[in-house]
Structure 1
Amino acid sequence: MAQTITFSRNVFLPLTNVCANACGYCSFKSPVRDGCVMPESEVLATLRRGSEFGCTEALFTFGERPENEPGFGQHIEKIGYPDILSYCMAMSRAAIDLGMLPHTNAGILTYEEMERLRTVNASMGLMLETTAEVPAHRHSPGKDPAVRIQMIADAGKLKIPFTTGLLLGVGETAADREESLMVIRDLQKQYGHIQEVIIQNFCPKPGTEMADTPGATANSIRETLIMAAEILPKSISIQIPPNLADASALLSCGVRDLGGVSPVTIDYINPEHPWPALDALRGIASGYELRERLCVYPQYCNAEWVSPELLPLVQSLSKQTYDL
């Protein structure tokens, strides 16, 4: 029987690119200016389009702590919300009304903020990236490894199905990657909430501090995937982004998931790397059984892990997707 490779059909919604961090490799961050918040009309139109294309996941992102950037508050207040988290919650409810499950990647959130967001999010995520102190993060307080580890632990305490991962090629060593994977392993043993780990290769972007830094080699990606398969519990699905690496050549290294792929929106973090069309995804997974999944994995589709507001939709979609 062929091994199963999964993916999620999603719609990607960057609510703002304003961010308090300034990572050496990032081209996502933008200054505070008119139009720095995605208009509600555009969010709703994109959600409706996603629903028409059968998307089951609404992926919300925004820069970390945008309110810390001078002048941002007036832009979010202009569209009728006191802060970006309130806006994200409102748009999450709009996604739920259209039959999609919200998943939010928002950088560092407090325990209390995640507790609020959990009511309308089926899952959440935060890339650990690395436990190493690297120059690429010297202007990014939110990339302090201890702060990120604490947030992942808090998500576990709150029973939030969670995604994390490593970013390869940003100045870390092979030993750092091993340590990062062991930290994730230990968090999973304690809380059991990590459903997937992304092994993502850094891609150099023009105009950034690291524009001339070579990305992770194919060999280092392969070695890290093999290491992840050896270190991480089997309950965690290992993911490789099919638009950033030659996924078809890496599936045999312990990969079980191709992440979120959108038939509607681009990858706003890596816009120069388009997602493969769903037909192309089948070619990438040739020799494997390609199966669609939700942003919340089967073992978490219950009242212990899903809020009462979301549980009916999760149960309905899990019957269609997982036959639960």
Structure 2
Amino acid sequence: MRVMTQGTTLTHVFGAAVTVCRVCRNSCGYCSFRDVESDLMPLEKLAAEFIGFAKAGAIQVSLVSGDSPHVYPSIQFALKRESCVAFSEYLRKGCALAVEAGLLPVVEAGALDPFDVQTVSEMAASVRFSLTAAGLHGKGEAHAEARNRGPEHAKGLIEQAHRSQLPYHLDFLIGIGETEAERHEFLRTVGTFCGADPWLQDVRLVPFQPIPGTAMSGRPPLGFEQVAAAMRVLREAFPVHFRAITPHLFSRFAELTGHGLNDLGPLPFLTGDPVMSGFPVPAYETLKSRLTEHNILLSERLPLTTPAAENRGSMTPTLAAARNRLLNRDQAKIKLIDDKHCFVCGHRNTQGLQITLQKNDPGTCSTVWTSGPAHQGYAGIVHGGILTTLLDEMMGHAIISTGILAVTAEMRIKFLRPAPIGFPLTVVGNRTGGRGRVHLAKGVVMLPDGTVLAEAEGRFVEC
């Protein structure tokens, strides 16, 4: 069904998410995130991830973890390795690294206790809490093997964030076994309790989705009308807030705007959603095009939305940097977002080439790649389009290695000899000059013995 709206705007936050630890003391029936054998991400690796996210244009980063992983001896040893005496100290150090990279850090680590909240508040931009409308601790229910889940814990979490003057976001997990009456009443109760709190930033519905391998994989998800009804109650309970829903319902965004949806929350374009990894986050241009079909404008916003949150002194420089990044992206003619799905070098693209780029010197880029049968044109010969793609990638990244973001405007290719399937090919790109916003580059494809198979020249234009 095609839904037309009257000039609606949906906002979103350009973000990334990183899993710092999958160990969790809870085993919720609907969750596939938990892995008690996983390790704690080293802080050094975390810092490198943050730098990459910032270069790619992210505004915020979510530090995602299971609930109370420190109760496991393996994580206690890992914390000692990172020179941390508590998990909250690790989170605080992680947030500090995000701030240093120019990102606004959001902590998503389950039901934090008062000490944890106070500790992370020193460096976190905000914290995200997941709330449920019913306890469901009975045998065979969603939280049969979980603690601190249920409506009675919601007030305490919110009060902890308020006392620490830590901005917070609320997720409402729905459809896990609560009745519709319980669901709606809980939304209204929480809205009455904290709807006027200046530290509350936004709210989001998280409708249950069955995931293979979980205890509740056979449970059907809520129907659209039930989700729409919950969104209407959310609008009633939080009339002035940003109201979002999770990306896996991307195909129903347009319809839900008529029921109260006005925001898409944090969209981890760069990383995907680690909690629901089986449901890909739509690419920005795809999302924008789909919404435009329904006369809906997609607009980016900052994750901190109230004066109390924006005026926290510790976040002022980072918030200013985030605001500049947002404005630069808004003014750009083309929004170039590297979500690691590039056909050539994207490690998240399972159907791509997944090559490794070597950028040893500014202005150069190279790789060594071995083709397979899937890359042929005529029998035993690499398709010319693949060689063209590789040359384009190397020349483009040769320019990018100088700190300039540019796109291909023109290419000329000379195919000199057939490229045999199964042989390692060296592909090299070099920036050769340029003027103003236009940059020139050359590229070659060679066999191991130095035989040149193809040559290219390209003209690239800064974005």
TM-score of the superposed pair, with normalisation by structure 2 = 0.64
Q: Tell me what 1:114 maps to.
A: 117
Q: Which amino acid aligns with 2:78?
A: H
Corresponding residue for residue 290 of structure 1: 298
1:85-124 to 2 correspondences below 5 Å: 85-124=88-127
Check if 1:169 corresponds to 2:175. yes
SS at match of 1:137: coil
Is this contact kept in 2: 1:107–1:142, CA < 8 A? no
Q: Which of 134, 137, 141 is the equivalent residue of 2:143?
A: 137
- Cα displacement (A) at 1:7: 0.7
2:194 corresponds to which residue? Answer: 188
Seq. identity, %: 23
Give 1:319 shift: 6.4
Alpha-carbon distance between aligned partners in 1 of 2:196 and 2:296, rounded to the nearest angstrom = 32
Q: CA deviation at 1:288?
A: 2.4
Retained in 2: the 8 A contact 1:11–1:50?
Answer: yes
Aligned partner of residue 143 in structure 1, secondary structure: coil
Aligned 1:10-159 pairs, distance under 5 A: 10-31=15-36, 33=37, 35-133=38-136, 135-159=141-165
Match of 1:311 in 2: 316
Q: CA deviation at 1:298?
A: 4.7
What secondary structure sits across from 2:142 in the alignment?
helix
Would the aligned equivalents of 2:33 and 2:275 in 1 still touch at CA under 8 Å? yes
Q: 1:320 to 1:48 in 2, by over 3 A?
A: closer
- CA distance in structure 1 between the aligned counterparts of 2:11 and 2:43, rounded to whole angstroms: 31
Greater helix fraction, Structure 1 or Structure 2? 1
> What CA RMSD, in Å, does the superposition of the two structures yield over aligned residues?
2.2
How many aligned residue pairs are there? Answer: 317
Q: Which whole-Å deviations, capped at 9, do the CAs of 1:78-136 have from their partners, x for residues lacking one?
A: 23322322122112111111111011111111223212211211111101122453521
What does residue range 222-237 of structure 1 map to in structure 2 within 5 Å?
222-230=228-236, 232-237=237-242
Q: 2: CA distance between counterparts of 1:97 and 1:70?
A: 30
Q: Specify the code of the residue in structure 2 equivalent to 1:2.
A: G
Q: Partner of 1:8 in structure 2?
A: 13
Greater strand proportion: 2
Q: 1:131 to 1:322 in 2, by over 3 A?
A: farther
Matched to 1:67, the amino acid is H
Cα distance in 1 for residues equivalent to 2:114 and 2:220:
36
Consecutive unaligned residues in structure 1, runs of 5 or more: none
TM-score normalised over the length of structure 1 = 0.90
Q: CA deviation at 1:191?
A: 2.9
Structure showing greater Rg: 2
Which amino acid is the alignment partner of residue 314 of structure 2? E
Amino acid at match of 1:115: Q
Per-residue deviation, 1:72: 2.4
8 Å CA contact 2:172, 2:205 repeated in 1: yes
Which has the bigger relative contact order, CA under 8 A and spacing at least 6? Answer: 1
